């Protein structure tokens, strides 16, 4: 048990160190949503008819976006570890694959939550109406969402054979998850086919949950959204453990 905890700590430590050293990743992760917020939000906001200010309406979406981008990419980044052979060094230790998976999830999730927290702080200065409870519930929701997405990223990364596959991840996973989540538009007036897709997107529940907490607008209760995300997490952790145990170099 002690060995397992130390192993998880080691992988977490490495992930955090590397993340903090690669400033460019941190900077782009924080600035990208801000560009969307200011440029896209202001532009579309001039014609959008939402019940609250459009920029405020899409702010929860950007928290979710940060989590989607950083979690998935940090997870899929394991393919880079494969390429530079660092993964071999980890796989040859006595740690079990499950421990390695959990360590990776903890590390990548910390990175993602750190980015989201920075954005949350910036949101305060942009005039988002926070209460302490809202911030706490927001972080809890982001935490739940990040676990699933990091796992998804790790699963994809464990199957990828070279970093060139990153483009596919971005086109077929990251953008659909983000664009179908309702981060940018209300979901109640969509054609039926699209409604189905938005229901299938776990990010929808994260956006909805955050919108309820931060703006008191939503279609589902916090509990319902949380439960869906929890189910999503369990499924992906289970799949991720399986994927790691079958992963070959």
Q: Does 23 bind another protein (CB under 8 A)?
A: no
Q: How far is the CB of 156 from another protein (least distance, A)?
A: 21
- Residues in 89-128 that interact with another protein by CB under 8 A: 89-96
Write the DSSP string, the chain: -HHHHHHHHHHHHHHHHHHHH-HHHHHHHHHHHHHIIIIIHHHHHTT---SS-HHHHHHHHHHHHHHHHHHHHHHHTHHHHHHTTHHHHHHTSS--HHHHHHHHHHHHHHHHHHHHHHHHHHHHHTT----HHHHHHHHHHHHHHHHHHHHHHHHHHHH-SSGGGHHHHIIIIIHHHHHTTTSSS-STT--HHHHHHHHH-HHHHHHHHHHHHHHS--SS-HHHHHHHHHHHHHHHHHHHHHHHHH---
CA distance 49 to 242: 46
Q: How far is the CB of 71 from another protein (least distance, A)?
A: 20
Total number of residues that touch another protein (CB under 8 A): 27
Binding range to another protein, per CB under 8 A, among 88-96, 122-130, 173-181, 237-245: 88-96
- Which residue in 2, 125, 192, 223 binds another protein (CB under 8 A)? 2
Q: How far is the CB of 87 from another protein (least distance, A)?
A: 8
Binding range to another protein, per CB under 8 A, among 4-12, 50-58, 122-130, 218-226: 4-12
Q: Does 9 bind another protein (CB under 8 A)?
A: yes
Q: Does 245 bind another protein (CB under 8 A)?
A: no
C-beta of residue 170 within 8 angstroms of C-beta of residue 93:
no
Q: How far is the CB of 196 from another protein (least distance, A)?
A: 42
Q: Which is nearer to another protein, 86 or 222 (CB)?
A: 86
Q: How far is the CB of 229 from another protein (least distance, A)?
A: 31
Binding range to another protein, per CB under 8 A, among 45-53, 86-94, 124-132, 145-153: 86-94
Binding range to another protein, per CB under 8 A, among 17-25, 125-133, 162-170, 180-188: 17-25
CA distance 234 to 42: 38
Q: Which is nearer to another protein, 93 or 131 (CB)?
A: 93
In the complex, the residues that contact another protein under the rule CB under 8 A are: 2-3, 6-7, 9-11, 13-14, 17-18, 21-22, 84-96, 249
């Amino acid at each position: 048990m002690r060995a397992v905890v130390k192993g998880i700590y080691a992988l977490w430590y490495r992930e955090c160190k590397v993340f903090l050293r690669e400033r460019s990743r941190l900077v782009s992760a924080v600035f990208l949503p801000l560009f969307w917020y200011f440029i896209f939000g202001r532009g579309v906001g001039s014609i959008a008819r939402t019940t609250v200010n459009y920029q405020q309406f899409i702010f929860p979406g950007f928290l979710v976006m940060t989590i989607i981008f950083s979690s998935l990419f940090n997870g899929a980044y394991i393919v880079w570890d494969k390429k530079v052979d660092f993964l071999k060094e980890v796989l040859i230790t006595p740690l079990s694959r499950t421990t390695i998976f959990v360590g990776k999830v903890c590390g990548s999730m910390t990175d993602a939550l750190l980015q989201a927290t920075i954005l949350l702080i910036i949101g305060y200065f942009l005039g988002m109406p926070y209460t302490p409870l809202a911030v706490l519930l927001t972080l809890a929701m982001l935490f739940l969402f990040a676990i699933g997405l990091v796992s998804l990223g790790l699963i994809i990364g464990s199957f990828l054979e070279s970093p060139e596959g990153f483009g596919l991840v971005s086109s077929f996973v990251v953008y659909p998850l983000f664009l179908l989540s309702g981060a940018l538009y209300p979901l109640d007036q969509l054609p039926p086919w699209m409604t189905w897709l938005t229901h299938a997107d776990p990010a929808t529940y994260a956006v909805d949950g955050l919108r309820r907490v931060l703006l008191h607008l939503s279609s589902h209760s916090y509990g319902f959204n949380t439960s869906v995300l929890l189910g999503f997490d369990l499924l992906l952790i289970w799949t991720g453990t399986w994927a790691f145990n079958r992963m070959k170099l």
